Amino acid sequence: MSSTRLALILLAATAMSSCQNKAETPAAPAASDPATPVAANDPIASAESAAPAAVSKAATIVTMGADGAMKTLRQGSNGFTCMPDAPDTPGPDPMCFDANAMEWVMAWAGHKAPPTDKAGIMYMLAGGTDASNTDPYATKPTQGSDWLHTGPHMMLVGSQSSLAGYPSGPNPDTKAPYVMWAGTPYAHLMIPVS
C-alpha cells in the first residue's frame, strides 16, 4: 500500500471521526466522459470496486477534494470505509477498510505503535502500487527500482502472529501471500485474490 494512499486514509479517518454524528448530503458523481478514469467519472463506483459487493454496498464512501478536504459521498452502515482510486498514483488503487484497520493506519500515520492483537481487514480488489515493500514511509521507489504492482488483494493488519512463515523482502512474488514492511511495527500480510 503506498504512502500516498495511507495518508489519504488518515485524512479519511479524521473526516469520519469528525462527521460521525453529522448528516451530510452526498455529492453527485461527476458526469461520465469516456476519456476520463472511472474514479473521476463515478467515485462511488470506483470505491465500491475495492471490495466484494456485500461489503462495499453498505460502506461509507469518502473522497478527497482538490483542496485536500475529505468529503463523505455516502454514509454507510457496516463499519467499512471505501475510497476511490487516487489519480496521482501509477495504478488503480481504490480501497475499503474496517474500523480496526483504520486504527492501524492512524498509528502508522502518527508514527505510533499499532495494535498487535486486533486484526483489521483492507480490500484492494482493483490492485495497487507501492513505492517500497520494505519502507513504510517511502513516497517513491529507490533509484533504479520501479513501483511494486500488486494485483487484487486483501491485507491483514494488526496481527503480528499471522505473519510467521510468509516471505518478505524488497521484491516479493505478488502472486502469492507475502509480508509488506517486514521488520517494522507496520508489517502486514498481503493476500492476493482472484
The 10s digit of each residue's pLDDT in 52-98 is: 999 999 999 998 777 777 799 999 999 999 999 987 778 888 999 99
Three cell numbers, residue 154 = 486483501
What does pTM read for this prediction?
A: 0.78
Over the stretch 105-115, which tens digit does the pLDDT of each residue have? 889 888 999 99
Residues 6+ away with beta carbon under 8 Å from 22: none
Residues 38, 56 contacting (CB under 8 angstroms): no
Could you report the per-residue pLDDT of 141-189, keeping only the tens digit for each?
Answer: 888 788 888 899 999 999 888 899 999 999 899 999 999 999 999 999 9
Q: Please give the pLDDT value at position 117.
A: 85
Amino acid letter, residue 128 = G
Distance (Å) of CA 2 to CA 117, 161, 194: 24, 23, 21
Q: 69: helix, coil or strand? A: coil
Alpha-carbon distance of 134 to 152, in angstroms, equals 20
Measuring CA to CA, which residue among 90, 110, 76, 102 is closest to residue 155? 102
Asked if residues 130 and 190 have their Cβ atoms less than 8 Å apart, the reply is no
% of the chain exceeding 90 in pLDDT: 49
**Would you state the torsion angle of the CA atoms of residues 182, 161, 48, 112, taken in this order, to the nearest 10 degrees?**
-60
- Tell me: the pLDDT tens digits for 13-54? 444 443 343 333 333 333 333 333 444 589 999 999 999 999
pLDDT for 66 equals: 75
- pLDDT of 27: 38
How many CB atoms sit inside 10 A of residue 20's CB?
A: 10
Q: What pLDDT shows up at residue 33?
A: 36
Rg of the chain on CA atoms, in Å: 16
> pLDDT value at position 28?
35
Q: Residue 139 class from Cβ within 10 Å (0-12 exposed, 13-18 middle, 19+ buried)?
A: exposed
- For residue 82, give the C-alpha cell: 471505501
User: What separation in angstroms does the CA of 21 have from each of 8, 53, 95, 184?
Assistant: 21, 25, 23, 35
- What integer best gives the mean pLDDT of the chain? 81
Residue-range domain boundaries for the chain:
3-85, 99-192
If you search the block for the grid coordinates 479517518, which residue do you land on?
A: 13
Q: What is the DSSP letter of 193?
A: -
Question: Which amino acid is present at 179?
Answer: V
Provide the pLDDT confidence category of residue 9 given band limits of 50, 70 and 90.
Answer: low
